[in-house]
Structure 1
Amino acid sequence: MSDSLHNDWIPTGDDIATANVSALVARLGLKDYDELLAFSNEKPDAYWDAVIDFCGMVWDVPYEKYVDASKGQPFPKWFPGGQLNWVKSALKWADDPAMASHAAVVAEREDGSAQRLSYAELAQKVAAFAGGLKALGVKRGDRVGLLMENGVEATVTSLAIAWIGAVTVPLFSGFGVDAIVSRLSSCSASALVATTGFSRRGKWVDTRSLVDEGLSRLPDLGIVVWKHAGEAIDFSGKVLDWQQVAASQPDAAPARMSPDDPFMIIYTSGTTGKPKGTVHTHGSFPMKIAHDSAVHFNVSGKDVFCWPADMGWVAGTLVMSCALLRGATLVCYDGAPDFPDWSRMSRIVERYGVTHFGSAPTLIRGLAANEPIATQGDVSTVRLLITAGEGIDPEHFLWFQKAFGSGRSPVINYTGGTEVSGALLSSVIVKPISPAGFNTASPSVAADVVDADGKSLTNTVGELAIRRPFVGMTQSFWQDDERYLDAYWRTVPGIWVHGDLALRRDDGTWFMMGRSDDTIKLAGKRLGPAEIEDVLLELPEIAEAAAIGVEDPVKGQKLVVFLVPSAAMALSQEALASVVSKHVDGRLGRPFRPSVVHVVAQLPKTRSSKIMRRVIRSVYTGVPAGDLSALDNPPALDEIRAAAAH
Structure 2
Amino acid sequence: MQSTYFDIYREWQTAPEEFWRRQAETLHWFKPIEKVFDKDQGVYGRWFVGGETNTCYNCIDRHVSKGRGDQTALIYDSAMNGDKRKYSFDEMLVEVQAIAAVLRNHGVGKGDRVVIYMPMVPEAVFSMLACARLGAVHSVVFGGFAAHELAARIDDCGAKVVISASCGLEPGRVVAYKPLLDHALGIAKVKPDFCLVLQRDELHAALRYEHGDVDFRQAVEIEKVNGTVVDCEPVTATDPLYVLYTSGTTGQPKGVIRDNGGHMVALNWTMKNLYGVEAGEVFWAASDIGWVVGHSYIVYGPLLAGNTTVLFEGKPVGTPDAGTYWRIVSEYDVKVLFTAPTAFRAIRRDDPEGKLVETYDLSGLRALFLAGERADPETLKWAEQVLQVPVIDHWWQTETGWPMVGNPVGLGLLPFKPGSPTHPMPGYLIEVLDDAGHPVPTNTLGNIVVKLPLPPGCLVSFWNADERFRQGCLEEFPGYYKTADAGMLDDDGYLFVMARTDDIINCAGHRLSTGAMEEVCAMHPDVAECAVVGVADSLKGQIPCGFLVLKNNVTRDEKLIEKEVVDLVRNEIGPVAAFRTVMVVKRLPKTRSGKILRGTMQKIADGMPWKMPATIDDPVILDEIIEILKSKGYAKGAADTAA
Please report the TM-score for the alignment, with normalisation by the length of structure 1.
Answer: 0.76
**Counterpart in the other structure of 2:82:** 112
**Counterpart in the other structure of 2:554:** none
- Secondary structure of 2:431 counterpart: strand
**Counterpart in the other structure of 1:448:** 431
In structure 2, distance between residues paired with 1:275 and 1:642: 27
The Cα offsets for residues 117-148 of structure 1, whole Å up to 9 and x where unpaired, read as 00111112112211111001112111111111
Aligned length: 532
In the TM superposition, what is the alpha-carbon distance from 1:304 to its structure 2 partner?
A: 0.5
Give the counterpart letter for 1:234 in structure 2: L
The Cα offsets for residues 334-362 of structure 1, whole Å up to 9 and x where unpaired, read as 12222111111101111111111111011
**Counterpart in the other structure of 1:557:** 596
Give the counterpart letter for 1:557 in structure 2: I
Give the counterpart letter for 2:321 in structure 1: D
Moved over 4 A (4+): 269-272, 548-556, 561-565, 587-590, 598-601, 638-643
In structure 2, distance between residues paired with 1:330 and 1:413: 21
**Does the C-alpha gap of structure 1 residues 502 and 174 become closer, same or farther in structure 2, counting only changes over 3 Å?**
farther
**Counterpart in the other structure of 1:35:** 7
- 1:205 to 2:232 alignment: no
- Secondary structure of 1:473 counterpart: coil
- 1:423 to 2:407 alignment: no
In structure 2, distance between residues paired with 1:57 and 1:363: 34
- Secondary structure of 1:179 counterpart: helix
**Counterpart in the other structure of 2:60:** 91
In structure 2, distance between residues paired with 1:173 and 1:360: 19
In structure 1, distance between residues paired with 2:111 and 2:436: 40
Of 251, 264, 275, 1:297 maps to 275
Give the counterpart letter for 1:132 in structure 2: V
**Counterpart in the other structure of 2:92:** 122
**Counterpart in the other structure of 1:364:** 344
In structure 1, distance between residues paired with 2:39 and 2:448: 23
In structure 1, distance between residues paired with 2:291 and 2:615: 15
Please report the TM-score for the alignment, with normalisation by the length of structure 2.
Answer: 0.77
CA contact 1:75–1:476 (8 Å) conserved in 2: no
In structure 2, distance between residues paired with 1:382 and 1:108: 18
In structure 2, distance between residues paired with 1:125 and 1:132: 11
In structure 2, distance between residues paired with 1:584 and 1:514: 22
In the TM superposition, what is the alpha-carbon distance from 1:251 to its structure 2 partner?
A: 3.9
Q: What is the RMSD of the two structures over their aligned residues, measured on CA atoms? A: 3.1
How do residues 192-231 of structure 1 correspond to structure 2 at under 5 angstroms? Answer: 192-218=162-188, 219-230=190-201, 231=204
- 1:81 to 2:53 alignment: no
In structure 2, distance between residues paired with 1:640 and 1:209: 34
In structure 2, distance between residues paired with 1:599 and 1:639: 9
Give the counterpart letter for 2:173 in structure 1: K
Of 186, 194, 207, 1:234 maps to 207
User: Please, which moves more after superposition, 387-396 or 424-433?
Assistant: 424-433
**Does the C-alpha gap of structure 1 residues 377 and 126 become closer, same or farther in structure 2, counting only changes over 3 Å?**
same
- Secondary structure of 1:141 counterpart: coil
CA contact 2:626–2:635 (8 Å) conserved in 1: no
**Does the C-alpha gap of structure 1 residues 243 and 511 become closer, same or farther in structure 2, counting only changes over 3 Å?**
same
In structure 2, distance between residues paired with 1:589 and 1:600: 19
Structure 1: which 5+ residue stretches go unaligned?
A: 1-12, 17-21, 23-31, 520-547, 566-572, 602-620, 622-637
CA contact 1:145–1:192 (8 Å) conserved in 2: yes
Of 382, 393, 409, 2:365 maps to 382
**Does the C-alpha gap of structure 1 residues 198 and 596 become closer, same or farther in structure 2, counting only changes over 3 Å?**
same
Give aligned-pair identity as a percent: 26
- 1:485 to 2:464 alignment: no
Of 14, 36, 46, 2:18 maps to 46
CA contact 1:420–1:474 (8 Å) conserved in 2: yes
**Does the C-alpha gap of structure 1 residues 271 and 173 become closer, same or farther in structure 2, counting only changes over 3 Å?**
closer
**Counterpart in the other structure of 1:614:** none
- 1:321 to 2:321 alignment: no
Of 585, 591, 596, 2:618 maps to 591
Of 277, 286, 294, 1:308 maps to 286
In structure 2, distance between residues paired with 1:550 and 1:193: 42
In structure 1, distance between residues paired with 2:457 and 2:503: 24
**Does the C-alpha gap of structure 1 residues 552 and 228 become closer, same or farther in structure 2, counting only changes over 3 Å?**
farther
- Secondary structure of 1:284 counterpart: helix
**Counterpart in the other structure of 1:545:** none
The Cα offsets for residues 404-435 of structure 1, whole Å up to 9 and x where unpaired, read as 3xx2x322322111111111111113222223
In structure 2, distance between residues paired with 1:388 and 1:600: 29
- Secondary structure of 2:596 counterpart: strand
- 1:350 to 2:334 alignment: no
In the TM superposition, what is the alpha-carbon distance from 1:275 to its structure 2 partner?
A: 2.3
**Does the C-alpha gap of structure 1 residues 588 and 343 become closer, same or farther in structure 2, counting only changes over 3 Å?**
closer
- 1:399 to 2:382 alignment: yes
Give the counterpart letter for 1:89 in structure 2: N
Of 480, 490, 506, 1:505 maps to 490
In the TM superposition, what is the alpha-carbon distance from 1:297 to its structure 2 partner?
A: 0.7
In structure 1, distance between residues paired with 2:140 and 2:243: 7
The Cα offsets for residues 175-223 of structure 1, whole Å up to 9 and x where unpaired, read as 2111111111111111111121122224212212111211212342121
In structure 1, distance between residues paired with 2:139 and 2:360: 36
Give the counterpart letter for 2:494 in structure 1: T
CA contact 1:127–1:252 (8 Å) conserved in 2: yes
- 1:331 to 2:310 alignment: yes
Of 242, 262, 273, 2:240 maps to 262
**Counterpart in the other structure of 1:274:** 252
CA contact 1:111–1:202 (8 Å) conserved in 2: no
**Does the C-alpha gap of structure 1 residues 436 and 216 become closer, same or farther in structure 2, counting only changes over 3 Å?**
same
CA contact 1:551–1:557 (8 Å) conserved in 2: no
In structure 1, distance between residues paired with 2:133 and 2:339: 29
In structure 2, distance between residues paired with 1:171 and 1:641: 34
In structure 2, distance between residues paired with 1:518 and 1:174: 29
Compare relative contact order (CA 8 Å, sep 6+) and give the higher one, 1 or 2: 1
- 1:145 to 2:115 alignment: yes
CA contact 1:562–1:598 (8 Å) conserved in 2: no
CA contact 1:464–1:502 (8 Å) conserved in 2: yes
Structure 2: which 5+ residue stretches go unaligned?
A: 505-543, 550-586, 589-594, 639-643
CA contact 1:93–1:327 (8 Å) conserved in 2: no
Give the counterpart letter for 1:357 in structure 2: L
Give the counterpart letter for 2:311 in structure 1: C
**Counterpart in the other structure of 1:606:** none
**Does the C-alpha gap of structure 1 residues 588 and 349 become closer, same or farther in structure 2, counting only changes over 3 Å?**
closer
**Does the C-alpha gap of structure 1 residues 145 and 552 become closer, same or farther in structure 2, counting only changes over 3 Å?**
farther
**Does the C-alpha gap of structure 1 residues 97 and 65 become closer, same or farther in structure 2, counting only changes over 3 Å?**
closer
In structure 2, distance between residues paired with 1:193 and 1:642: 41
